[in-house]
A = this chain, B = another copy of it.
Amino acid sequence: MLIVMSNHASKEELDNVMAAIEAHGWQAKPIPGGERTAIGILRNTGPVDPAIFLGMPGVRDAIPVSKPYKLVSREMKKENTLIPLGNGSVVIGGDKLILAAGPCAVESERQAIEIARAVQKAGAVLFRAGAFKPRTSPYAFQGLGEKGLQILAHVREETGLFVVSEATDHEVCDLVEEYADIIQIGTRNMQNYRLLKRAGQARKPVLLKRGMSATIDEFFMAAEYIMSEGNDQVILCERGIRTFATHSRNTLDLNAVPYIQKESHLPVFIDPSHAAGRRDQVIPLARAGAAVGAAGLLIEVHSCPEKAMSDGPQSLLPADFERLVAELRYMNFKI
């Protein structure tokens, strides 16, 4: 933290700020400049809230210098994190572009198997589908629950696809850990700290979606919650942020990808389906997500989107997904 004093600040105001810093057990280091004095804060063990100082007389600004996250940071671990699944036949964060596809929600065994076979044939190695669905409306379909997870386990047996599914709270996480290969934490739960801690105790990798209006620092801090409990297998997923734009459900923030890759060693996925919210934008955004350098794509595919119980409208048909994979191969991505 750097405290910038006003050029009108009196000696007494400066002393008060230094005393406040020391009252927290930190060290205050004044840095005199031409027009004004700044004060560096040293020996703080965690992040310092700028607002502590913003209200004090004579203080003009308080500027965070160090980052609040540690385990997530590339400063802590230089090499990219690789996340092998099963016997290592699939490695997230490696050379290949990982394709995770499937319906928004498991609706029936028949539906799940049908879609799974279709996306596998096209090139997907992960099957994504929800058994527990967080829904904006209390009156909407909320998922098949444990029954849905059993269907997913059956899909894995039948196809060999690995399975990713969402845990909507810490109790549901017990079930998802039992049945799925990767535990997904959804955008609305990015700051559900109890769930994050529970996922940190799981022995399965966690796919963490960015909150709809989360800064990257907040996103990293959510991953830090998971890692601080001992689970270092975290995949970060950008899925669109909330902006003023109304031509899509959210705005896919691809600037985040090179930034995350610079700051952190964790792999990043892109979810173009939720970023778009409408089918006609999914394929172009999926191509863009691959091109920006993501480790994987998370794509909704449904064999009959118009009848899907949830989020049908943003699902690709299996034939669309096949076309997308062909385009990605044409662009020389390894799949």
Contacts and interface: CB of A to CB of B under 8 A. Distances in A.
A313 B255 contact: no
Interface in A156-198: 168-170, 188-189, 191-194, 196-197
B7 A75 contact: yes
Interface stretch (A111-119, A144-152, A283-291): A283-291
Nearest to A38: B65
Given A192-B189, A215-B244, A42 B33 contact: yes
A208 to B, nearest CB: 14
A129 interface: no
A66 B60 CA distance: 10
A306 B23 contact: yes
A276 to B, nearest CB: 6
A135 B193 contact: yes
A242 B253 CA distance: 12
Contacts of A331: 291, 331-332
Given A46-B140, A291-B331, A332-B331, A247 B255 contact: yes
A241 interface: yes
B255 A276 contact: yes
A81 interface: no
Copies in the complex: 4
Contacts of A189: 192
Contacts of A130: none
A305 to B, nearest CB: 8
A109 interface: no
A191 B134 contact: yes
Given A288-B289, A291-B291, A292-B284, A215 B245 contact: yes
A153 interface: no
Contacts of A43: 34
Contacts of A258: 280-281, 284-285
Contacts of A287: 291-293
A254 B285 CA distance: 7
A138 B228 contact: yes
A212 B284 CA distance: 22
Interface in A292-308: 292-293, 305-307
Given A215-B246, A289-B288, A63 B2 contact: yes
Interface string A199-226: 0000000000000110110100100110
A291 to B, nearest CB: 4
A10 interface: no
Given A284-B293, A291-B331, 16 more contacts: A20-B306, A49-B312, A55-B280, A63-B65, A136-B218, A168-B193, A168-B194, A189-B192, A241-B243, A241-B251, A251-B253, A284-B292, A287-B293, A288-B289, A291-B291, A330-B332
25 contacts: A2-B2, A4-B66, A7-B75, A33-B40, A36-B66, A38-B40, A45-B139, A46-B140, A52-B305, A55-B280, A55-B313, A63-B63, A135-B193, A138-B225, A138-B228, A169-B192, A215-B246, A241-B244, A241-B245, A248-B259, A255-B276, A284-B292, A288-B289, A290-B291, A331-B332
